[in-house]
Amino acid sequence: MKKFGLEFVPMEYPLKTVLYAQLAERENFDYLWITDHYNNRNVYVILSSIALNTNRIRFGPGVTNPYLIHPVITAQIIASLNELAPNRIMLGIGAGDKATLDMILGDRPKPLESIREAVTIIRSLLTENRVEFSGKAFNVKSARFNFKVEGKIPIFIGAQGPKMLELASSMGDGVLVNFSHPLDFERAMSSIKKGLEMVNKSIENLEVVAATSLSLDEDEKKAYKAAIPAVSFIVAGASEEILTSHNIDLDKAKAIREALIKAKWKDAFSNVSEDMVDAFSIAGKPNKVIERLSELFKLGVNTVIAGTPIGPNVKNSIELLSRKVMTYFKAS
């Protein structure tokens, strides 16, 4: 069964994000992810508010990273959220947004080891209430919870590169793939299947999530324009290999990355081309979105998360996505 969700960047006043969450629940979305960037509202404050103001929808950080918060504390927060909204919490974790983390760290050390070890530590605490761990990125002498974590909290791993995709599919309950184009998913599915084979795991036991930048509107020009800021961050974090595969100008991509690090938004956005929008988002009218999503489902995706910007008018675009796109796939 195909599932749908939404991703919100908590750039606005917290209550507004909570209202969007309530709208998502009314419109029968399955999932809700809130991004974790230091320069927006705190993800866990927002998630706590969502827990207290919704009843059905499943939600979690999408994605947090192991660099700014230690995995033991991430496990503690997730376990506590689970008590506010039992059987509705998910954890999304990945190496983080390069453009944003570069502003603090300058680099993300040992991404593969950091994610592998963080997931091991978190899962141990969530399932056994304790952990002792010695690794390359993290060491935990002896940590335990003074409370029991009820139920299973699924862990979704964000991934793009081949090795991280292999890791995500082998370790995760789900893999959050931050691509929008079928060309990228063709390559990604090869790595996902390789990761599954490494641990003798069936693809039926993995949720393959297309975490797309989506901009939906009946006016195609408005949809394209709204996608530009999100696409700029995606381009800034994309590898040279991915950029080259879409014939993206590497000098423009570099200019976008440098402008974002310096918070020169106009400079960054002005370098985003139409080719970039087509490669790294799904932007346009409902029929175009349906066409692109159909291609992704055929490749093995079973869940779609519509991420920033969702559309030029978020409320209208959520309703349009539910009533024209989701309804189409559920009817078929």
Q: Are 235 and 95 in contact (CB under 8 A)?
A: no
User: What string of DSSP letters covers 71-96?
Assistant: HHHHHHHHHHHHHHSTT-B-EEE-S-
Tokens of 193: 């299947």
Q: Is 166 helix (H, G, I), strand (E, B) or coil?
A: helix
pLDDT tens digits for 279-297? 999 999 999 999 999 999 9
Question: Which amino acid is residue 312, in one-letter code?
Answer: P
pTM above 0.85, yes or no: yes
Q: Is 70 helix (H, G, I), strand (E, B) or coil?
A: coil
Q: Are 167 and 144 in contact (CB under 8 A)?
A: no
Domain boundaries in the chain? Answer: 3-227+281-331
d(CA 70, CA 118): 8
Q: How is domain 3-227+281-331 classified at the CATH fold level?
A: TIM Barrel (3.20.20)
For residues 157-180, average pLDDT: 96
pLDDT tens digits for 199-247? 999 999 999 999 999 999 999 999 999 999 999 989 988 889 999 999 9
- What does DSSP say about strands 130-134 and 139-144: parallel, antiparallel, or unpaired? antiparallel
Tokens of 36: 């974790």
Q: Is 64 helix (H, G, I), strand (E, B) or coil?
A: strand
Strand partners, 58: 31
d(CA 306, CA 6): 5
Burial 170-197 (b: 16+ CB within 10 A, else e): bbbbbbbbbbbbeebbeebbebbbebbe
Confidence of residue 331 (pLDDT cuts 50, 70, 90): confident
pLDDT tens digits for 30-46? 999 999 998 999 999 99
Q: Are 200 and 329 in contact (CB under 8 A)?
A: no
Q: Count the alpha carbons within 13 Å of 22 in the hemisphere toward its beta carbon.
A: 9
pLDDT for 101 equals 75
pLDDT for 98 equals 67
d(CA 165, CA 188): 7
pLDDT tens digits for 83-112? 999 999 999 999 877 667 777 877 777 999
For residues 51-66, average pLDDT: 97
Per the prediction, the chain carries an average pLDDT of 95
Q: Is the alpha carbon torsion for 315, 318, 323, 325 positive or negative?
A: positive
pLDDT for 108 equals 76
In this structure, of 7-16, 119-128, 235-244, the range with the lowest mean pLDDT score is 235-244
pLDDT for 99 equals 65
Q: Are 177 and 159 in contact (CB under 8 A)?
A: yes
pLDDT for 220 equals 96
Question: Which amino acid is residue 323, in one-letter code?
Answer: R
